Amino acid sequence: MRTGIASMGSRASKRNTITVRKKRHLEVCLREKNFRIEDVRGAGFGAIHFVHECLPEINADGIDTGVEFLGKKLSFPFLISCITGGTLDGSPLNISLAGAAQRARVAFGLGSMRILFHEPKAYKDFAVRSLAPDVPLLANIGAAQLAEFAPLRILEAAQSLDADALVVHLNPGQEIAQTGGDVDFRGVMDAISALIELNRLPIIIKETGHGIRPRRARDLLARGAAWVDLAGAGGTDFLQVELACREEGSPDQIANPFASWGLPTALILAALRVQRSPGDRREAMPVIASGGLRNGLDLAKSLALGAGLGGMALPLARACAERGEEGITGVLDRIHHELIMAMFLTGSRTIPSLRRADLYYDADFTALLQGLLAAEEGYAHG
């Protein structure tokens, strides 16, 4: 697999390039006034509505938001999505995120551990298990690295972090926009299958802001992926992040024809829900809804559409930049409270009962859903 970084030769060159790029990614993401990196369409949750229940017949103080994920109990179905690692500064962001995850009892995903294969000293950027001993911790590697490193070596690196699962992120949009990006994606599905077959850790497949189409999500699950993280359009768009990094610049410079590329998260979930049998809709899918969720109501809608968990990254990174771990905890507390509010107003005492809550869609969203389902039907028979 050709990579722009590999062509630079030395391990030092690779280490320096990865480190500089990761720091630049964070800078772009945190400077929201300077860079437009979120899809202006949103994730689609605004077009989905719960039917209000005026007689909920439950006590809000008795609502139970707890779920189990990767064999560990969460206080509510939430993942701090994979953000960063490998900046060679001990990653204070990961330290704060891990501490907040432990305090809130939610899952936490690390950024790509690629740099560990070039600079072992970067281990300290990822070594946060002691700060989050009781919650699921996810290691992370890019799809392009599956051809660069042996499957067993990748899994051993994840296990060295005491991770509960390995996330493989799919980022073709990011790579094609990145100068010297990894643009040879041949053989990725077979490499994912090889990881799964080793049966060392659960494998989670995620996108990075453009979504996983419904049939591809089902294909991945059928091949043995433990979970699929949709990471749909509506949140952080790493194609735009890369263009911002490359152009060094202003919002005007990154306006391009791909500014609204990808499938919105809510739309993918709605399509997956339609394609399930009515009886199955009461059970969670092994799907994580991330990409554009911004509050507890978005999370509640994701769960009602069938997702097992919801995830966010950018709001938490920005909260950390402003107020550290306390800021992250404040956001998590707000999201949890908003989820409880949505459950009370739909008469849902537990997360399984929330999955039975009634939803309705705006007309434009319904038309988009019908269009996606038609495209999926054509994909099946193409």
Residue 80's pLDDT band, with cuts at 50, 70 and 90, is very high
Q: What is the pLDDT of residue 255?
A: 54
Q: What is the pLDDT of residue 380?
A: 54
| Residue 381 CB burial class (10 angstroms; 0-12, 13-18, ≥19) | exposed
Q: Name the more confident of 24 and 92.
A: 92
CB-based contact 159:195 (threshold 8 Å): no
305 backbone dihedrals φ, ψ, rounded to 5°: -80, -10
- Tallying the residues shown for the chain, one arrives at 382
Q: What is the pLDDT of residue 91?
A: 79
CB-based contact 39:292 (threshold 8 Å): yes
CA separation for the pair 75, 106 (Å, rounded): 6
Residue 223's pLDDT band, with cuts at 50, 70 and 90, is very high
What is the arithmetic mean of pLDDT over 8-31?
Answer: 61
Separation in Å, CA 341 to CA 75, 177, 217, 347? 15, 40, 30, 10
Q: Is 92 left (phi over 0), alpha (psi -120 to 50) or beta?
A: alpha
CA separation for the pair 324, 366 (Å, rounded): 40
- Predicted TM-score (pTM) of the model is 0.90
Tokens 């554009």, residue located: 292
The model's pLDDT over 295-347, given as tens digits with 9 standing for 90+, comes to 999 999 999 999 999 999 999 999 998 999 999 999 999 999 999 999 999 99
Lowest mean pLDDT among 24-28, 109-113, 186-190: 24-28
289 backbone dihedrals φ, ψ, rounded to 5°: -95, 110
Which helix (H) or strand (E) segment is 143 a member of? none
The model's pLDDT over 133-191, given as tens digits with 9 standing for 90+, comes to 999 999 999 999 998 999 999 999 999 999 999 999 999 998 888 888 889 999 999 99
- List alpha helices for 62-171, DSSP H: 92-104, 151-160
Q: Name the more confident of 227 and 6.
A: 227
* 151-160 vs 188-198: helix crossing angle, rounded to 10: 60
Residue 121's pLDDT band, with cuts at 50, 70 and 90, is confident
CA separation for the pair 204, 138 (Å, rounded): 9
User: Domains of the chain by range and CATH?
Assistant: 6-313+344-381 (3.20.20.70)
Q: What is the pLDDT of residue 180?
A: 84
| Residue 162 CB burial class (10 angstroms; 0-12, 13-18, ≥19) | middle
Taking the CA of residue 337 as centre, how many other CA atoms within 13 Å lie in the half-sphere pointing to its CB?
Answer: 6
Q: What is the pLDDT of residue 210?
A: 95
pLDDT averaged over the chain?
89
Residue type at position 197: E
The model's pLDDT over 237-289, given as tens digits with 9 standing for 90+, comes to 878 787 777 655 444 454 578 888 999 999 999 999 998 888 787 789 999 99
Q: For residue 11, give both structure tokens.
A: 């391990």
